[in-house]
């Protein structure tokens, strides 16, 4: 009982409506099927009203806490620049970061009271060097015909970190969670995302 | 096969397998998903949204007394409303098992206080189970019905945000129908009629029951002792166990599945087996107080673990490691970043109404719902929020205190769901006691904040079947309100005139927002009444006065860039309307003094 085994900590952050929750559900399907214990905790109580959304996602042999310990994030998957930089301190020094190049202004910025943070990419690269990847989720998804699929583009990019999980398993999870009419688009989004890293 | 489930869904699954027949609830974060889950996935169970938590518990307990396994679900503050029933149900007991789910909200993610519901169990003298993840939600919900029937008592299942709203694996099973026959027996009146003579009999039974429950706690299979390193032993429960076990896997644990009553023999044994005991619990020193009262000396408890806000793995680690805890390096100060608080949606009917109230300079006795967001700058047009239905009662009290001075200055606002929950009695009171308060029902045709639950005013049941619906105008008339008027919240000028007039009257007034459904309620077609699909800024005319920013519409933003209007007015910037967000509600158009906001095309 000395060791719980390695638990992998993935922190997802974004703005209500960006599909961060669907992305975390895809991760759930994938890692459960791969035989892991999974826990995830979401804060999305007021997401419909433009608030921020975060998900703590943990998988391993046995997971106790639903929350990741501050400073213990292995992977930060962020759907928006401000919601990425907000959690920079949570990432381990050797942690990996994937950020969607999207800017959504919060009220204080809209009102001209505060500035939207500049140089998010630069700040991350300063601390995490080559472990930072920027993905144009919306741009890629738009080319495929629907900007809504940006979240699955990000999932595709993110899948590169888990070579032991086959593409077919990711696609199976995507299909399990989305309506059939969205399958084609999102499978393409996954593949394009995978190439984007 | 294992499935991933949210804690709330796992509770429902466990209850369903236990043979639950009746479920009732009033929505409240983080408990709201429970009843919806019953309605959507388990047709064998009768499910209903009750107007408030008290009625929900009444419904569930009536079903229980008729022999059916039943459940009521609510958030922590909902229990305050239901407490009157619970405290006496503890005396009468049940027949079919009765589970009362109470979901706490440490750190008040979405509540008006941070009370610790474990205290209800001690207060009411009934058992309380506390799961720490979805599998435990499932297991504990299932067994709660056995405990309820074995000891003839309601059982509390207490969750909190990180249990109710986190997902983990559950191994589900099959439904087994309850063997208790349905039926009512008039001869049982002494058990269910709590007049003093009967109460005194039942009072003794409660104490006997508590003794038996204490013995049972010592054998309860979800009170688990894990002896690892005996130098430190942790007594804990629920999600606090999950955090502590994560950070200190090497220590020994006494994990309590049943937090009330406590397993006294097990605790004695644990103190013998380990050298030093730490108690880790979120919020109140509930377990700690009891263990100290038993005469034990603990090494640490609330001297290190905070008694407010939620626990997290790092808080547990930081508190218990003290100076040995290494803080992660701060790379960016989060407090320097703009926050992203929730906001009223673009097009929401509450926005123009609160803008009107602000312009009138009214003191607004508020309530609990989306509209509470009007407290935030720049609107800042809501001045109290205490509990469901409070605004009406408080406005009346304030008017009585202020006398004529208060006329024209005070108003109460509450939502349609809140009005039905507990807003009717205060309005009746204002009429009966010759008050002169003004109450505005912000009728958006749904329970908004908690995610669109039906209620007695929406015309639909939880299973989306059409049903009878309340007419607020008729309620007002029946209560004897003399001045009742409809209000179009989207017309700011008219709102200001009507509200001003009503606030100045020396009788109680009731104002009902009309044709103002929630922007997210598709079936009500909220966008149909808007003339244009969207509006945009005419940059020839925009003077950059920022008045339209005062309505705090998420679609409108400021763009700094010095320049001038076509007719030569200097400006520091202009506003911009995001066409993806604008729905064409015209509220900003009414606010703009320079006709700079014009119709656009989608």
Contact residues, chain A, for B330 at CB < 8 Å: 89
* Cα gap A80→A101, rounded to integer Å: 6
User: Under an 8 A CB cutoff, do A45 and B109 touch?
Assistant: yes
pLDDT of residue A48: 60
Which B residues, 218 through 257, put their C-beta within 8 Å of a C-beta on chain A? 226, 228, 239, 241-243, 245-247, 249-250
Q: What is the pLDDT of residues B562-596, one digit of tens each?
A: 999 999 999 999 999 999 899 999 999 999 999 99
Residues 2-61 of A with CB under 8 A from B: 2-4, 15, 28-29, 32, 37-43, 45-46, 48-52
Task: Please compute the mean of the pLDDT values over residues B274-291 and round it to a whole number.
Answer: 98
Q: How many Å apart are CA B188 and CA B190, to the nearest integer?
A: 6
Residues of B in contact with A46 (CB under 8 A): 110, 342, 449
Q: What percent of chain A has pLDDT over 70?
A: 95
Gap between the Cα atoms of A34 and A162, Å rounded: 11
In chain B, helix, strand, coil percent, each to 5? Answer: 40, 20, 40
The pLDDT value recorded for residue A49 is: 64
- The ipTM is 0.94
Q: Cβ contacts (< 8 Å) between A117 and chain B: which residues?
A: 337-338
Residue B351, both tokens: 């926005």
CA distance B528 to B585: 10
pLDDT for position B137: 98
| Residues of B with Cβ-Cβ distance to A146 under 8 angstroms | none
pLDDT tens per residue, range A90-138: 999 999 999 999 999 898 898 889 999 999 999 999 999 999 999 999 9
Helix (H, G, I), strand (E, B) or coil at B19: coil
The tens digit of pLDDT for each residue in B445-477 reads 999 999 999 999 999 999 999 999 999 999 999
Mutate to test the interface with A, among B161, B338, B348, B576 (most CBs of A within 10 A): B338
How high does pLDDT run on average in chain B?
97
- Residue of A43, A46, A67 lying closest to B313 (CB–CB): A67
Q: Which residues of A touch B247 (CB under 8 A)?
A: 65, 69
Give B475-499 pLDDT, tens digit per residue.
999 999 999 999 999 999 999 999 9
Residue B342 has a pLDDT of 85
Q: Which of A12-21, A74-83, B148-157 has the lowest mean pLDDT?
A: A12-21
Nearest Cβ partner for A39 among B30, B168, B558 = B168
Among B450, B438, B425, B551, smallest CA distance to B503 is for B438
Q: Give CA–CA dist B599/B583, Å, rounded.
A: 11
- Give the mutation candidate from A20, A38, A65 for the B interface (greatest B CB count, under 10 A): A65
Instruction: Give the percent of chain B with pLDDT over 70.
Output: 100
Question: Which 3 state secondary structure label does DSSP give B515?
Answer: coil
pLDDT at A44: 62
CA B55 from centroid of its chain's CA atoms: 16
| Cα nearest neighbour of B133 on chain A | A66
Backbone angles phi, psi at A38, to 5 degrees: -130, 135
pLDDT at A3: 42
- Using CB atoms and an 8 Å cut-off, which of residues 377-436 of chain B contact chain A? 378
* Distance (Å) from the alpha carbon of B554 to chain A's nearest alpha carbon: 7
Q: How many A/B residue pairs have CB atoms within 8 Å?
A: 161
**pLDDT surpasses 90 at A17:** no
Over residues B100-118, mean pLDDT? 96
B70/B1: higher pLDDT? B70
Alpha carbon distance B233, B230 (integer Å): 7
Contact B245 A2 (CB under 8 A): no
Predicted pLDDT of residue A45: 54
- Please name the residues between 59 and 88 in chain A that touch chain B, using a CB distance below 8 Å: 63-72, 82-83, 85-86, 88
Q: Which two tokens stand for residue B336?
A: 């320097």
From the list A42, A88, A110, the residue facing B165 with the nearest CB is A42
Question: Which B positions 83-122 lie with beta carbon below 8 A of chain A?
Answer: 109-110
Q: Please tell me the distance in Å from B145's CA to the nearest CA on chain A.
A: 26
* CA–CA distance, A144 with A188 (Å, rounded to integer): 8
Enumerate residues 127 to 166 of chain B having a beta carbon within 8 A of any beta carbon in chain A: 133, 162-163, 165-166
Token couple for B202: 């039942």
**Which candidate from A65, A71, A123 shows the least CB-CB separation from B246?**
A65
pLDDT by residue (tens digit) across A69-92? 999 999 999 999 999 999 999 999
User: Any idea which residue has 């997971």 for tokens?
Assistant: A63
Question: Residue B322 corresponds to which tokens in the numbers above?
Answer: 């003290």
Chain B nearest CA to A76, separation (Å): 15
Q: Is the pLDDT of residue B318 over 90?
A: yes
Residue A1 has pLDDT above 60, yes or no: no
Residues in contact with A55: Cβ distance below 8 Å, sequence separation at least 6, in sequence order: A11, A12, A13, A20, A21, A24, A40, A41, A42, A43
- Torsion region of A95: left, alpha or beta (phi above 0 gives left; psi -120 to 50 gives alpha): beta
Residue of A nearest to B110 (CA): A45
Which tens digits make up the pLDDT trace of B349-371? 999 999 999 999 999 999 999 99
Q: Which of A66, A131, A138 to mutate to test binding with chain B, by most B CBs within 10 Å of its CB? A: A66
- The strand pair at A52-60 and A37-43 is best described as antiparallel
Strand ranges inside B316-454, DSSP E: 363-365, 410-415, 438-442
A137, two tokens = 């989720």
Percent of chain B with pLDDT over 90: 98
Residues 133-192 in A contacting B (C-alpha not used; CB under 8 Å) = none
What pLDDT, in 10s, does the model give residues B221-278? 999 999 999 999 999 999 999 999 999 999 999 999 999 999 999 999 999 999 999 9
Contact A1 B250 (CB under 8 A): yes
Contact (CB<8Å) A106/B109: no
Q: Report whether pLDDT(B75) > 50.
A: yes
Q: A107, A108, A118, A150: best mutation site toward chain B, by most B Cβ within 10 Å?
A: A107
């Amino acid at each position: 009982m000395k060791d719980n085994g390695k638990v992998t900590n993935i922190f997802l952050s974004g703005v209500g409506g960006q599909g961060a929750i669907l992305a975390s559900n895809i991760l759930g399907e994938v890692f459960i099927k791969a035989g892991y214990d999974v826990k995830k905790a979401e804060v999305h109580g007021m997401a419909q009203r433009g608030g921020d959304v975060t998900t703590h996602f943990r998988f391993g042999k046995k997971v106790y806490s639903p929350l990741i310990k501050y400073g213990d994030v292995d992977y930060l998957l962020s759907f928006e620049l401000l919601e990425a930089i907000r959690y920079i301190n949570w990432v381990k020094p050797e942690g990996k970061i994937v950020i969607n190049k999207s800017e959504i202004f919060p009220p204080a910025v809209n009102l001209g009271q505060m500035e939207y943070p500049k140089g998010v990419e630069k700040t991350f690269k300063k601390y995490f060097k080559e472990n930072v990847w920027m993905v144009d989720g919306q741009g890629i998804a738009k080319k495929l015909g629907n900007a809504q699929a940006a979240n699955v583009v990000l999932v595709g990019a993110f899948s590169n970190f888990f070579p032991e999980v086959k593409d077919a398993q990711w696609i199976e999870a995507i299909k399990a969670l989305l309506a059939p009419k969205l399958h084609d688009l999102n499978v393409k989004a996954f593949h394009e995302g995978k190439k984007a890293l | 096969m294992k499935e991933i489930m949210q804690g709330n869904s796992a509770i429902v699954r466990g209850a369903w397998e236990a043979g639950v027949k009746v479920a009732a609830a009033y929505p409240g974060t983080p408990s709201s998903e429970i009843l919806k889950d019953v309605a959507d996935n388990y047709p064998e169970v009768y499910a209903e949204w009750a107007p408030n938590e008290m009625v929900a518990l009444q419904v569930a307990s009536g079903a229980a007394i008729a022999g059916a396994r039943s459940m009521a679900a609510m958030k922590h503050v909902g229990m305050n409303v239901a407490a009157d029933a619970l405290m006496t149900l503890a005396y009468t007991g049940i027949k079919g098992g009765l589970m009362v789910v109470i979901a706490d909200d440490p750190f008040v993610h979405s509540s008006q206080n941070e009370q610790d519901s474990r205290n209800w169990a001690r207060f009411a003298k009934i058992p309380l189970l506390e799961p720490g993840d979805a599998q435990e939600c499932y297991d504990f919900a299932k067994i709660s019905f056995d405990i309820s029937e074995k000891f003839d008592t309601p059982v509390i299942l207490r969750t909190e945000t990180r249990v109710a709203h986190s997902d983990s694996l559950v191994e589900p099973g099959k439904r087994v129908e309850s063997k208790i026959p349905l039926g009512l027996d008039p001869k049982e009146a002494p058990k269910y009629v709590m007049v003093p003579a009967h109460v005194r009999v039942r009072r003794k039974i409660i104490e006997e029951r508590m003794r038996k429950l204490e013995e049972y706690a010592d054998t309860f299979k979800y009170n688990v002792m894990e002896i690892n390193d005996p130098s430190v032993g942790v007594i804990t429960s629920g999600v606090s166990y999950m955090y502590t076990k994560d950070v200190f896997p090497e220590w020994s644990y006494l994990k309590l599945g049943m937090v009330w009553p406590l397993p006294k023999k097990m605790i004695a044994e644990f103190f013998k087996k380990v050298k030093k005991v730490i108690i880790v619990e979120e919020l109140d020193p509930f377990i700690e107080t009891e263990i100290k009262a038993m005469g034990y000396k603990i090494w640490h408890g609330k001297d290190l673990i905070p008694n407010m806000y939620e626990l997290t793995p790092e808080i547990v680690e930081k508190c218990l490691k003290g100076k040995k805890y290494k803080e992660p390096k701060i790379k960016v100060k989060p407090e320097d970043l703009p926050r992203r608080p929730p906001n009223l949606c673009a097009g929401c009917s509450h926005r123009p109404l609160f803008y009107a109230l602000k312009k009138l300079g009214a003191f607004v006795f508020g309530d609990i719902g989306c509209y509470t967001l009007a407290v935030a700058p720049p609107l800042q047009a809501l001045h109290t929020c205490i509990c469901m239905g409070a605004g009406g009662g408080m406005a009346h009290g304030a008017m009585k205190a202020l006398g004529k001075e208060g006329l024209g200055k005070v108003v109460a606002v509450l939502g349609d769901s809140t009005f039905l929950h507990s807003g009717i009695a205060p309005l009746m009171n204002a009429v009966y006691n010759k008050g002169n308060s003004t109450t505005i029902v912000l009728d958006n045709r749904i329970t908004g904040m908690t995610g669109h639950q039906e209620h007695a005013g929406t015309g639909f049941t939880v299973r989306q079947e059409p049903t009878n619906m309340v007419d607020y105008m008729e309620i007002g008339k029946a209560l004897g309100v003399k001045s009742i008027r409809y209000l179009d919240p989207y017309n700011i000028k008219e709102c200001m005139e009507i509200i001003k007039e009503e606030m100045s009257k020396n009788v109680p007034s009731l104002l009902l927002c009309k044709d103002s459904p929630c922007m997210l309620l598709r079936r009500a077609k909220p966008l149909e009444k808007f003339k244009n699909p969207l509006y945009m800024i005419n940059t020839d005319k925009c003077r950059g006065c920022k008045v339209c920013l005062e309505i705090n519409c998420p679609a409108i933003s400021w763009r700094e860039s010095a320049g001038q209007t076509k007719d030569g007015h200097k400006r520091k910037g202009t506003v911009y309307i995001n066409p993806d967000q604008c729905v064409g509600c015209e509220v900003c158009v009414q606010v703009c003094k320079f006709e700079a906001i014009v119709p656009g095309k989608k």
